[in-house]
Each structure stands twice: as structure tokens, then as C-alpha cells.
Amino acid sequence: MSAEPPGDLPDVPMAQPVLGTEEEELVLEVLRSGYLSLGPTGPRFERDFAAFVGTPYASAVSSGTAGLHLAVRAAGVKDGDEVITSPFSFVASANVIAYERATPVFADIDPVTLNVDPAAVAAAITDRTTALLPVHIFGYPADVPALETHGLPIVEDACEALGARHADGVAVGARGHAAVFGFYANKQLTTGEGGMVTLGDEATKARIDSERNQGRAPDMGWLDHDRLGFNYRLTDLQAAVGIAQVQRLPQMLADRAAVAGRYREALAPLASELDLQLPCEDHDGDVRGWFVFVVQVPRGHDRDDVIRALRARGVQSKPYLPAIHLMSYYRETYGLREGMFPVCEDVAARSIALPFFPAMRQDQVERVADALREALRGS
Ligand SMILES: *Cc1c(COP(=O)(O)O)cnc(C)c1O
């Protein structure tokens, strides 16, 4: 397709972290202290983060994936078990089930919230089901209260949902189940790489703290290990960045929500005239923690053509997210195929993540909206 060259305008990037002198000063302090890992900064970050979410315990880990892995182990998942999860997620939420040689069992999603449909989960439960792993996709709260009625252990993938709140007023991550947050550079809070598991009980925190540190027991000598563990530790340098990020979190979350509001306004004509589908509005009391702004192109348009047309206009975007059950590893390992989760497949084929970050300006939002209008007209 032909398009005007973007000219001198810089590209609108997908994401951009908010970092300042507070992060720099805290990192310098840690550097000068000499305690680069297993020092006092990690526990301080855990306390600050737990206080923000409103949960008694939190364990810092090296990534969201590492946190999900340890949380799945702590839920007692083992070889041959089934764990029910969403096919519309970042691949890590299913991979961690496979790490423990359990089978990820997918249940289709709700077309509005894009989270796993509680009725589909109920239908997928068998006597081999030992845990449920809902994902709060794009920051919209999954219906965890409905999943709680089954009495199975729940591990929440909250990696995209910092700042989200359930209808009953409880923050995502504070229901008492293990909930996992991710701190990669595009997340609401970043430490470069990193993650946090929020927890309602001390025993689970003790287990996760041990397994992230080679299985070392807190009261044992350095070389005595009474269980299998990993090196999933977050460094004190990363924790220092995290502490400063927790302080700016209310502002960063408010800025993300404001950018989402500007997008809604700028894209409203495309929604009504061209049937572009916008992220669902908060409803029934649930509150989204804004992470990405994902639109679904109208049926009949080629999503990848739209992405190329945006690119030609200096706007980055991504197909987000591809369905996990259609990835070759999952097809081949678990015998999955097209047609099994039709809602997820339809949404995944039409979804595009647009540039989205707290400092995004009104003119950048408008540029994306203009580019998207041209792209849809021409695709
Ligand atoms: C970011 C993310 C993760 C974790 O990613 P890491 O890169 O391991 O921190 C897990 N699940 C979802 C849905 C995510 O978006």
C-alpha cells in the first residue's frame, strides 16, 4: 500500500517508562552501600508494594514469569494435573503450568472483558483440575469472585493489572490468592525486569522466598538447602528503582487513565462510523488499571495491513495478543487447533495495541487516531 513518508516527525513509540531523579538517587545509594543483592532494599520494596496493593505479604522476584512459576508450585500443582487458564494472554501464563509438567487447559473468553469466561471455566473442570489461573488481561479485572466458588487454589496473573479494583472494592492482588505482577519496562511500574507475588498468608511467602533463593531455609546456613529452588531473586538495584516507582504510581496510573480517556474521545468517530472496537468501559463496579490501549479492527479488514499502514505513517503498533493455543508449541504438545476457542480466535485476529504510555501527549493521540482512520479507509 502506498503512503506518504512520515517526514521529519519522530515515530510515536509503543511505550515509554517514567523515570526521574528519585530512581537515580535510590540506585546510587544502593550502589554506594555495596549491598547489591539480598540486602535491605528488597524487603523495603516488598513492604511498599504490599502497602500500595493493600495485602499483608509480598515477595519480589526476578520477573513476572518467575513469580507465576513459584506461585503455581506453591498452589501444589504437579505432574499430570490440569490447570484452567485463558488462551488470550501473554504466553508466560500458560508456560508456567507446563514448567511443572501439568496440562494447561484453556477456557474461552468473554467477548466484552476479554477475560476467561467463568461459565467456560466451570465446564472445563475435571477431577484432575488442581488450580485455576485467571489473567486480568489489559488490566481489566477477571471475575475472580465467580471462580472462587469452586474452592480450588487460584493463582492470578495480575502482570497487566496494577491499579485495578474488583467491584467489591478489593484491589486486584489483595484477595488472598497468590497474585503476580510484572515489572518489564512497558508495565505500569518498571524495574527493567522484575516481578512481585502478593500473598495473604505468611507460610506461602516463606515458601516462595525460599524457592526464589535456591531452596534455602531462612534459618539455615548458606549451603544447607532442604528443598529444590531456583535463582529468581530481584537485585537491590532493581528494588531501588521499584521503591521510587511505587512513590510515583498514583500519578502514573492517573496519567495512563487520562491518556485512555483522550484515546476514547479521538477514536469515538471511528468506533461509530467504521465499527472499530474500543476497550470495554468499566462496568458493574469493576475498575481497570490501564496498561495498554488495544482496539479490534472491524471484521473484513486485514489487521496486519492496518499495522503496516500505521508503520508507514510513523506510528508503531503490535498484533496483541496472539491466541496461545494456536502457537506451534501448544498445537503440537497438547493437540490444540483452530475452532476450539472461537471468541478468543476472533478477538486475537483483530487486536492491535496502539502506542500507550503516561507521558503521551494529546497531539500524539491525535496523530495515532488520524493514522488509524487513513489505515482503515485504505485496508
Ligand atoms: C508481562 C506479563 C507477564 C510476565 O512477564 P515477564 O516478562 O516475565 O515479567 C505475564 N503475563 C502477562 C499477561 C504479562 O503481560
CATH number at 288 reads: 3.90.1150.10
Q: How far apart are CA 361 and CA 375, in angstroms?
A: 21
**Are the C-beta atoms of residues 118 and 108 closer than 8 Å to each other?**
no
Q: Could you identify the residue written with the cell 495473604? A: 200
Q: How far apart are CA 49 and CA 55, in angstroms?
A: 9
Question: What strands lie across the sheet with 351-354, from one edge to the other?
Answer: 293-296, 351-354, 318-319
Same domain, 77 and 226: yes
- Clarify whether 205 is annotated catalytic: no
Q: Ligand 1 centre and the CA of 270: distance in Å?
A: 30
Average pLDDT over residues 228-239: 97
Beta bridge partners of 109: 116
Query: Alpha helix (H) ranges present in 278-326?
Result: 303-312
Q: What pTM was estimated for this model as a whole?
A: 0.96
Average pLDDT over residues 264-286: 97
Give the position, in ligand 1's atom list, of the atom nearest the Cα of 157: 11
Position 9 in a domain: no
Position 143 in a domain: yes
- Where a domain ends, among 202, 222, 246? 246
Same domain, 304 and 344: yes
Annotated catalytic residue within 78, 187, 205, 318: 187
Q: For residue 1, name the pLDDT band (cuts at 50, 70, 90).
A: very low
- Cβ of 234 less than 6 Å from ligand 1: no
Same domain, 90 and 152: yes
Give the position, in ligand 1's atom list, of the atom nearest the Cα of 187: 1
Q: Which of 14, 90, 196 to mutate to test the pocket of ligand 1 (most atoms within 8 A of CB)?
A: 90
Same domain, 274 and 257: yes
- Where a domain ends, among 222, 246, 270? 246
Q: How far apart are CA 160 and CA 142, in angstroms?
A: 11
Nearest residue CA, atom 2 of ligand 1? Answer: 159
Model pLDDT for residues 128-145, shown as the tens digit of each residue: 999 999 999 999 999 999
- Where a domain ends, among 246, 262, 280? 246
Average pLDDT over residues 71-89: 98
Torsion (CA) 74, 79, 83, 87 in degrees, nearest 10 = 110
Domain count across the chain: 2
Position 338 in a domain: yes
Model pLDDT for residues 9-65, shown as the tens digit of each residue: 788 999 999 999 999 999 999 999 999 999 999 999 999 999 999 999 999 999 999
Extract the C-alpha cell encoding 139.
488490566
Question: What strands lie across the sheet with 155-157, from one edge to the other?
Answer: 57-61, 195-199, 178-182, 155-157
Percentage above 90 pLDDT, the chain: 93
Q: How far apart are CA 162 and CA 254, in angstroms?
A: 12
